[in-house]
């Protein structure tokens, strides 16, 4: 449990948000040309990192907008929050 | 058996104030090379080593554990054992485990306190009723005992449940598996460790795996905090940290690791003599032999390795518990903790070879791995020894995420995921 600084609403309790999982997984541009392995990679395989992870969050019980977050999954510390479409911060 | 436990050994040792019991397992230094290495000294890993030695005669093997044996999810779960799963593949897997549980104390000569006190799953809405009745029929077709109870029968079986029609989620009935129950979780790890150690397995604690060495698509050994160890076969049973080990081998798994919480109350006299689970309101409770209520809460809905978990999850569970059992309203909770569970998209485990030769994974048990410990170890040992899955774990291969042949137990598995 932690506080999240929503880029639209400011700091709110984490229970107002829902996590959309790993960020920057791009939907394949030509789905019909994908092999089964590539589909499995897109649909199911996850980095599931212990450490700095990029992920998508939604302020479900607030502004309902999606945004991205950089969080350390080993201690739940949030390093950065940035809007959809913005470039992920480089550290 | 070098040190058989019995009433006679208990009496004999009583004369020396119980100070001369032999250590149940040793503390060996790692050798330079093993026939196989198991990464993870929890129940599943130790059971794997035990069955590799016992059934497949692989004695030159080691179990590497980062902390101490049974200190991870083995010692953090709510000890529930049942096999009332919907799909044939799951029913086969979990009932195989349940059949081993029934004789495990005798086999290991170690009292794992297996108690077939029954597990009851409650229905709170019409869809629950339909789903649970369907599951009862599916269970029976697979030879697994299951009965449907109406509201009065639920009340009769567990009188402290509030079956009033006025509560927010009234009890409309439930299913009961009488062969299901609980076991002492630590004892399972200790019993398997003692059994494996006796057959020559090296159990190496405080030994963290730092890397996996590959030569092309064949494994060559593991880099550890106690040096490099050569081996041709690696079985990974690292629960929440499976992805971390997989990344070392350049592999990605379909897993997300999340904290799952449980809590226990202060000890009280016997009040609930069974296990009651409720899917819809996500609350389940049983009573330990010490008298504590053992309560399982849910997972946090985001990836985290913190072994803590959020307060709102606990609060939600306790609200449901209080509505169903008003008698617990003045109980105090003693301890709360979290364990990191690795969850598969279809909520079924992976017991599988990989596309790297000699690298095997047993993971993805998610919120319900304890019940499968003996079966999981047995089938994983078979898979490692023969380089082929047993027919009972063939469906639980890693390739199902490519073929689409998933074992979808979400929701159907009788606990909320």
Three-state SS annotation for chain B = CCCCCCHHHHHHHHCCCCCCCCCCCCCCCCCCEECEEEECCCHHHHHHHHHHHHHHCCCCEEEECCCCCCCCHHHCCCCEECCCCCCHHHHHHHHHHHHHHHHHHHHHCCCCCCECCCEEEEECCHHHHHHHHHHHHHHHHCCCCCEEECHHHHHHHCCCCCCCCCCCCCCCEEEEECCCEECCHHHHHHHHHHHHHHCCCEEECCCCEEEEEEECCEEEEEEECCEEEEECCEEECCHHHHHHHHHHCCCCECCEEEEEEEEEECCCCCCCCCEEEECCCCEEEEECCCCCEEEEEEECCCCCCCCCCCHHHHHHHHHHHHHHCHHHCCCCEEEEEEEEEEECCCCCCEEEECCCECEEEEECECCCCHHHHHHHHHHHHHHHHHCCCCCCCHHHCCCHHHHCCCCCCCCCCCCCC
Mean pLDDT of B219-240: 97
CB contact under 8 A, B256 and A53: no
Q: Which residues pair with B259 in a beta bridge?
A: B340
Residue B2 clears pLDDT 60, i.e. is over it: yes
Nearest residue, CB atoms, B304 vs list A36, A44, A73 = A73
Residue A91 clears pLDDT 70, i.e. is over it: no
- Among chain B residues, the shortest Cα distance to A36 is held by B402
CB contact under 8 A, A14 and B310: yes
- Measure the CA–CA gap between A26 and B112, rounded to whole angstroms: 49
Mean pLDDT of B183-211: 97
**Mean pLDDT estimate for chain B:** 95
User: Smallest CA–CA separation between A16 and chain B, in Å?
Assistant: 11
In this prediction, residue A21 has a pLDDT band, given cuts at 50, 70 and 90, of very high
Question: What is residue B303's predicted lDDT score, i.e. its pLDDT?
Answer: 96
Residues in A closer than 8 angstroms to B255, CB to CB, are: 46, 48
In this prediction, residue B416 has a pLDDT band, given cuts at 50, 70 and 90, of very low
User: Smallest CA–CA separation between B84 and chain A, in Å?
Assistant: 27
- Among chain B residues, the shortest Cα distance to A39 is held by B402
Determine the residue among A48, A49, A50 to mutate to test chain B binding: the one whose Cβ has the most chain B Cβ atoms within 10 Å: A48
Residue B1 clears pLDDT 70, i.e. is over it: no
**Residue pLDDT, tens place only, B361-402:** 999 999 999 999 999 999 999 999 999 999 999 999 999 999
Residues in B closer than 8 angstroms to A19, CB to CB, are: 301-303
CA-based torsion, B248, B250, B251, B257: positive or negative: positive
Binding-face residues of A in 29-68 toward B, CB within 8 A: 36-37, 39-41, 43-50, 53, 55
User: Smallest CA–CA separation between A33 and chain B, in Å?
Assistant: 15
User: Smallest CA–CA separation between B195 and chain A, in Å?
Assistant: 33
CB contact under 8 A, B254 and A44: yes
**Residue pLDDT, tens place only, B98-153:** 999 999 999 999 999 999 999 999 999 999 999 999 999 999 999 999 999 999 99
CB contact under 8 A, B312 and A15: yes
Q: Does A16 touch chain B (CB under 8 A)?
A: no
Question: What is residue B279's predicted lDDT score, i.e. its pLDDT?
Answer: 84
User: Smallest CA–CA separation between A80 and chain B, in Å?
Assistant: 16
Residue A15 clears pLDDT 90, i.e. is over it: yes
Mean pLDDT of B48-66: 98
Determine the residue among B66, B304, B312 to mutate to test chain A binding: the one whose Cβ has the most chain A Cβ atoms within 10 Å: B304
CB contact under 8 A, A45 and B253: yes
| List of residues 6+ apart from B340 with CB closer than 8 A | B73, B239, B240, B241, B257, B258, B259, B260, B304, B305, B306, B307
User: Smallest CA–CA separation between A28 and chain B, in Å?
Assistant: 16
Question: What is residue A89's predicted lDDT score, i.e. its pLDDT?
Answer: 87
CB contact under 8 A, B252 and A21: no
Residues in A closer than 8 angstroms to B305, CB to CB, are: 50, 73-74
Residues in B closer than 8 angstroms to A76, CB to CB, are: 304, 306, 308
**Residue pLDDT, tens place only, B30-44:** 999 999 999 999 999
In this prediction, residue A1 has a pLDDT band, given cuts at 50, 70 and 90, of confident
User: Smallest CA–CA separation between B404 and chain A, in Å?
Assistant: 8
Residue B328 clears pLDDT 50, i.e. is over it: yes
In this prediction, residue B75 has a pLDDT band, given cuts at 50, 70 and 90, of very high
Question: What is residue B360's predicted lDDT score, i.e. its pLDDT?
Answer: 98
Question: What is residue A48's predicted lDDT score, i.e. its pLDDT?
Answer: 96
CB contact under 8 A, B312 and A21: no
Give SS3 for A82.
strand
User: Smallest CA–CA separation between B243 and chain A, in Å?
Assistant: 6
**Residue pLDDT, tens place only, B174-186:** 999 999 999 999 9
H/E segment holding residue A66: strand A66-72
Q: Does A74 touch chain B (CB under 8 A)?
A: yes
Mean pLDDT of B33-56: 98
- Measure the CA–CA gap between B376 and B350, rounded to whole angstroms: 10
Residues in B closer than 8 angstroms to A1, CB to CB, are: 300, 309-312
Residues in A closer than 8 angstroms to B404, CB to CB, are: 36
Residues in A closer than 8 angstroms to B252, CB to CB, are: 41, 45-47
Q: Does A3 touch chain B (CB under 8 A)?
A: no
Nearest residue, CB atoms, A76 vs list B306, B312, B345 = B306
The predicted complex's ipTM stands at 0.95
In this prediction, residue B417 has a pLDDT band, given cuts at 50, 70 and 90, of very low
In this prediction, residue B415 has a pLDDT band, given cuts at 50, 70 and 90, of low
């Amino acid at each position: 449990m932690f506080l999240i600084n929503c880029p639209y609403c400011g700091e709110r309790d984490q229970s107002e948000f829902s996590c959309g999982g790993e960020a920057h997984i791009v939907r394949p541009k030509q789905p019909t040309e994908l092999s089964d392995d590539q589909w499995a990679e897109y649909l199911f395989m996850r980095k599931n990192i212990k450490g700095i992870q990029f992920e998508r969050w939604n302020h479900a019980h607030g502004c309902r907008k999606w945004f991205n977050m950089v969080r350390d999954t080993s201690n739940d510390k949030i390093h950065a929050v940035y809007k959809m479409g913005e470039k992920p911060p480089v550290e | 058996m070098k040190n058989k436990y019995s009433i006679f050994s208990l009496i004999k040792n009583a004369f020396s104030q119980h100070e001369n019991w032999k250590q149940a397992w040793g503390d060996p230094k790692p050798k330079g090379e093993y026939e196989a290495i198991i990464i993870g000294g929890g129940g599943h890993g130790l059971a794997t080593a035990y069955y590799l030695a016992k059934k497949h005669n692989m004695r030159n093997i080691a179990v590497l554990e980062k902390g101490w044996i049974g200190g991870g999810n083995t010692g953090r779960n709510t000890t529930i054992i049942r096999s009332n799963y919907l799909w044939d593949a799951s029913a086969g897997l979990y009932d195989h485990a349940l059949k081993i549980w029934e004789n495990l104390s005798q086999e290991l000569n170690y009292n794992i306190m297996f108690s077939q006190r029954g597990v009851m799953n409650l229905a709170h809405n019409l869809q629950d009723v339909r789903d649970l009745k369907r599951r009862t029929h599916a269970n029976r077709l697979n030879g697994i005992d299951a009965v449907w109870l109406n509201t009065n029968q639920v009340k009769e079986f567990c009188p402290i449940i509030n079956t009033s029609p006025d509560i927010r989620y009234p009890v409309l009935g439930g299913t009961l598996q009488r062969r299901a129950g609980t076991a002492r979780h630590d004892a399972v790890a200790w019993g398997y460790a003692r059994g494996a150690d006796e057959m020559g397995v090296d159990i190496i604690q405080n030994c963290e795996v730092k890397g996996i060495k590959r030569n092309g698509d064949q494994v060559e050994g593991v880099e550890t905090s106690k040096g490099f160890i050569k081996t041709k076969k690696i079985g990974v049973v690292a629960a929440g940290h499976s992805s971390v080990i997989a990344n070392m081998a350049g592999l990605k798994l379909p897993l997300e690791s999340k904290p799952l919480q449980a809590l226990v109350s202060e000890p009280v006299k016997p009040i609930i003599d069974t296990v009651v689970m409720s899917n819809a309101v996500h609350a389940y409770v049983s009573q330990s032999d010490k008298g504590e209520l053992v309560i399982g809460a849910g997972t946090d809905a985001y990836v985290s390795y913190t072994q803590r978990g959020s307060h709102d999850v606990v609060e939600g569970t306790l609200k449901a518990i209080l509505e169903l059992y008003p008698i617990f309203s003045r109980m105090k909770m003693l301890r709360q903790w979290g364990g990191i569970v690795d969850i598969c998209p279809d909520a079924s485990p992976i017991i599988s070879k990989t596309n790297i030769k000699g690298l095997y994974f047993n993971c993805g048990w998610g919120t319900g791995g304890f019940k499968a410990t003996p079966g999981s170890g047995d089938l994983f040992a078979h898979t490692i020894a023969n380089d082929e899955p047993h027919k009972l774990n063939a469906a639980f291969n890693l390739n199902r995420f490519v073929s689409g042949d998933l074992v979808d137990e979400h929701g159907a598995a009788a606990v909320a995921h």
